Chain A
Amino acid sequence: MPSFPPWLRKTLATVATVAATILGLLFVTFMIGRVMPIDPVLAVIGERATQEQYNQTYIDLGLDQPLLVQFGIYVNDVLHGDFGKSIRTGQEVTTDIARVFPATLELATLGTIIGIVLGVPLGVVAAVRRGSWIDQLARFVGLIGYSMPIFWLGLVGLLVFYGILGWVAGPGRLGIFYQGIVEPITGMLLIDSALRGEWTVFKDAFSHIILPASLLGYYSLAYISRMTRSFMLEQLGTEYVTTARVKGLSEWQVVWGHAFRNIRIQLITVIALAYANLLEGSVLTEIIFAWPGLGSYITTSLLANDMNSVLGGTIVIGTIFVGINIFSDLLYRFFDPRSK
């Protein structure tokens, strides 16, 4: 048995875990797609096709092969960078995902930033002033965020801020006058327009994204502030915090310098989960705001039995989850010397 250095062992173990996770995810999704009581051939040829066209398409799709053989062919294609064509859009799945994923990434990232910037301080202050009006407010905000259907909040948000007040732009990523001006670099309009120096486009893109991002941010805020409050309450009740106070440290130093420092690891997990959820779970927000993102792409594809698109999207989501987990692990090591 050759002896590998620890860093290499860890890296190899991580790669093996990632590969096994994604392969497992693909296998399960593939099998679900094949055993669902929906005929994939009809999804391609439609209701009016003749039996002869049906039979030909059945063979073209490789459905006459055993399931495991079909899966093997699919994995082999994927390993060669071929995710197949979407039967719904007629385009390569990679092309579709390259188009929709930046839209989701931009929206979810801004939403998460809003959630962190507002949610963390709110949770900390609510814990420090437990029982006060600000604590009650934080809990109320959290409750509303958890209990209101996002579909309803989205429509009301559009009605108020777009329909009545006119403070923000309407659905979509960009106004009709600004489309096609900025040559894509990352696919994220805010970044691309800033990099190209197209500030009027940036302003319009910001006006379109701010409402859906705030909505998603609100949901993140509800989750992050509630968890932050809970973590902080636990820390504030420990002896080292009492000791710090007895030693005469300021409240700021006690809260932010000691208690908060010790919840960072837990917060990273919470934020990572919230971010990952927004990346794949903001389907309704995308539908209401006509935001062409990954969540609605996968959902619409699933309903149309467009399995190439579903599997392609699944790989992306799986990779994101694994990537975020790896990133969280790295941050753990950075913030917690014990895990090094």
Chain B
Amino acid sequence: MKRSFVAAVVTAMLAAGAAAPVAAETPPNMLVIANRIDDIKTFDPAESFEFAGADVSRNVYNKLVNFDPLDLDAGYQPDLAESWDISEDGKTITFTMADGHVFASGNPVTAKDAEFSLRRAVLLNKTPSFILTQFGFTAENVEQTIVATDDKTLVLTLDKPYAVSFVLNCLTATIGGIVDMQTAMANEVDGDMGNGWLRTNTAGSGPYKVVDWKPNESVLMDLNPNYGGEKPAMERVIVQHIQESATQRLQLERGDIDVARNLSPEDVAGLEKVDGVKIVDELRGRLMYFSANQKNEMLSDPKVLEALKLATDYEGMSGSFLKGQYTVHQAFLPLTFLGALENKPYTYDVEAAKAALAESGFPECGPIKISVRDAQERLDIAQSLQNTWGMIGCDVELIVGTGAQTLDRYRAREHDIYLGAWGPDYPDPNTNAGTFAVNPDNSDAAGATGLLAWRNAWGIPEMSEQTLAAVVENDTDKRREMYLALQAEHQKVSPFGVMFQQIEQNGMGASVENFVAGGATTAVSYWVITK
């Protein structure tokens, strides 16, 4: 709190006119970015699962299919694979590799590299491996299910006839990055398939290669001289770890950086008045929600849940302390995803909330504990909920902890209300549907900690079946309708109160063009940027 206060004071001083016109001082072929990159643990695409790591990976590793940063709405496009065919039974996908792609090492990209990369992601069994293993790939069967029949052809055999869009969307995730087999295996230690080496080094065929990484300090990327695509304008990209928004703002104003990626609403407002700087808003995939543990008798009453959703001041929050950083959104699929529901059935209405509560089995409401991590925006939201839920008579207590502490309680199903955020793991609707709307076995013994529905003890065998049916629907229009219907039902009956979707506000020099942070579906793309 104290720190926020002093930061606000400095921000106010900045706003008072200290800002000098920007002098673009970085070289025209170099992009310098200030970002929080202390979450990078590894660059290995089979293991990397953090935001800043995904930003690096997208620029270093090509995939079989990928998103065009200048047309994200077009969905997946050919990348290392020039085409693909689906078998009649829908279980086999045959990729034909494109010519002309070469790894940074000089080795040509072949189907054997793709086979190696996807197999090792399954075999290493790191956290993101579920993105591939959900198609039936296992350590025991990868030699039969992921096969390069020659240097140009890769055949994937799935356990079910999944929607092709589902499979290909998953291959655009970080784990779909194709690694240089020869380089990785040359650095193998104790059968780790190069995992140890690839944590700190890269071996991709993307536009850039990592030449230096200092944890919590900086990542330096240079052009991959063998890149098969059009030569990027930015020959060097430096991402510096700058924790504080006010510091990023100062650097941007001084022209020492080209892009500032973690600006507070106050600093964004201040920069809007500065010549030579622009703010670019981009809708991202992160959702902010609260959820109620259904083991709590009161919170499992549908009318109590309805009352809490109605007693939430969505517009008030998004118009004040979340201004510019979040937009109101009430469905589990982020906007821009296939089948995202735009309908917002809940608006802040104290009287309606009181009426709903009166109809419930708990008209007096009761003590509610909100479990929230010690991050400023979440604390602000929690305090707003405490205030507005208090207005309908609920006695709300905030249980503040570190991210790990609150997550521990959540996974152990020990919370009353959890206030948290959820970001998509891969750019397909199932990434969220598969966790918000799947929980076939609600028993403690099931231990399905990866499912948000299970964490909230919300047993939904029927809805689970509907969700799983959507992943094998190959008609895109039908699939969209299925997700729309699922979300509409979810909004009504679920213990989830989805509130907001993130907007990323990036500050950058006025000359910087084509900076795309990745929208709701992917990560940043440096190779299209000019300035």
B-binding residues in A (CB < 8 A): 37-39, 42-43, 45-51, 53-54, 56, 86-91, 96, 99, 149, 151-152, 155-156, 158-159, 162-164, 166, 170-172, 176, 179-180, 284, 287-290, 292, 296-297, 300, 303-305
CB-based contact A288/B247 at 8 Å:
yes
> With a CB–CB cut-off of 8 A, which chain B residues contact A166?
254
- Are B199 and A51 in touch, CB under 8 angstroms? no
Chain B residue numbers with a CB within 8 Å of A170 are 247, 250-251, 254, 256
Whether A287 pairs with B243 at a CB distance below 8 angstroms is: yes
A149's partner among B6, B42, B220, B250 (CB-CB below 8 A) is: B6
Q: Which residues of B contact A90 (CB under 8 A)?
A: 41-42, 199-200, 215
Expressed in whole angstroms, the Cα–Cα distance for A53 and B122 within the complex equals 12
The 7 residue pairs across chains A and B that have the minimum distance between CB atoms: A89-B215, A152-B6, A155-B10, A38-B404, A292-B217, A90-B199, A51-B447
Q: Are A47 and B407 in contact (CB under 8 A)?
A: yes
User: What mask results when residues 186 to 216 of chain B are scored 1 for a CB within 8 Å of chain A, else 0?
Assistant: 0000000000000110000000000010111
Is the CB–CB distance between A176 and B49 below 8 Å? no
In the complex, A88 Cα to B216 Cα: how many Å? 10
Q: Is the CB of A88 within 8 A of B242?
A: no
List chain B residues, Cβ under 8 A from A288: 243-244, 247
Q: How far is the CA of A166 from the CA of B125 in the complex (A)?
A: 51
Taking the complex as formed, is B14 at the interface, i.e. its CB lies under 8 A from any CB of chain A?
A: yes
Cβ of B408 within 8 Å of any chain A Cβ, yes or no, is yes
| Nearest CB of chain A from residue B273's CB, rounded to whole Å | 15
B residues near A, CB below 8 A? Answer: 2-3, 6-7, 9-10, 13-14, 18-20, 26, 30, 32, 38, 40-42, 49-50, 125-128, 130, 199-200, 212, 214-218, 220, 238, 240-244, 246-247, 250-251, 253-254, 256, 401-402, 404-405, 407-408, 411, 425, 447-450
Pair B13/A99 contact, Cβ less than 8 Å:
no
| Docked CA distance A46–B411 (Å) | 12
Q: Is the CB of A48 within 8 A of B130?
A: yes
Is the pair A50, B130 in contact by a Cβ cutoff of 8 Å?
Answer: yes
Known contacts A90-B200, A149-B3, A290-B240; 20 additional CB pairs below 8 A are A39-B408, A42-B411, A47-B411, A49-B127, A51-B447, A53-B125, A89-B215, A90-B215, A99-B215, A149-B2, A151-B6, A155-B6, A162-B254, A171-B242, A172-B217, A179-B220, A290-B241, A290-B242, A292-B216, A296-B216
What residues of B have a CB within 8 angstroms of the CB of A46 in the complex?
Answer: 49-50, 127
Question: Which single residue of chain B is at the shortest CB-CB distance from A297?
Answer: B216
- Residues on the A chain within 8 Å of B408, using CB: 37-39, 42
Query: In the complex, are the beta carbons of A43 and B404 less than 8 A apart?
Result: yes
B2 touches A163 (CB 8 A): no
Which residues on the B side are within 8 Å of A149 (C-beta)? 2-3, 6
Q: How far is the CA of A49 from the CA of B133 in the complex (A)?
A: 13
Name the distance in Å between A290's Cβ and chain B's nearest Cβ: 5
A305 to B402: give the CA distance in the assembly, Å: 10
A180 to B212, alpha carbons, bound, how many Å? 9
Check A159–B250 contact: CB distance below 8 A. yes
Q: How far is the CA of A50 from the CA of B425 in the complex (A)?
A: 14
Report A-chain residues with C-beta under 8 Å of the C-beta of B6: 149, 151-152, 155
A-B pairs with beta carbons under 8 Å apart, 8 shown: A158-B250, A159-B10, A162-B254, A171-B240, A172-B217, A292-B241, A296-B216, A300-B38
Separation of A38 and B410 alpha carbons in the complex (Å): 12
Q: Is the CB of A42 within 8 A of B404?
A: yes
Q: Are A54 and B449 in contact (CB under 8 A)?
A: yes
Minimum C-beta distance from A269 to chain B (A): 30
Task: Please tell me if the beta carbons of B49 and A88 are within 8 angstroms of each other in the complex.
Answer: no
Q: B53 to chain A: closest CB distance in Å?
A: 10
Q: Quick one: which of B19, B125, B404, B408 has the most chain A CB within 10 A?
A: B404
- Kindly report which residue of chain B lies nearest to residue A52, judged by CB atoms: B125
**CB-contact partner of A48 in B19, B404, B450, under 8 A:** B450
A159 and B14 CA atoms in complex are apart in Å by: 8
**B486 CB → nearest A CB, Å:** 21
A174 to chain B, nearest CB (A): 10
A304 partner residues in chain B, CB cutoff 8 A: 404
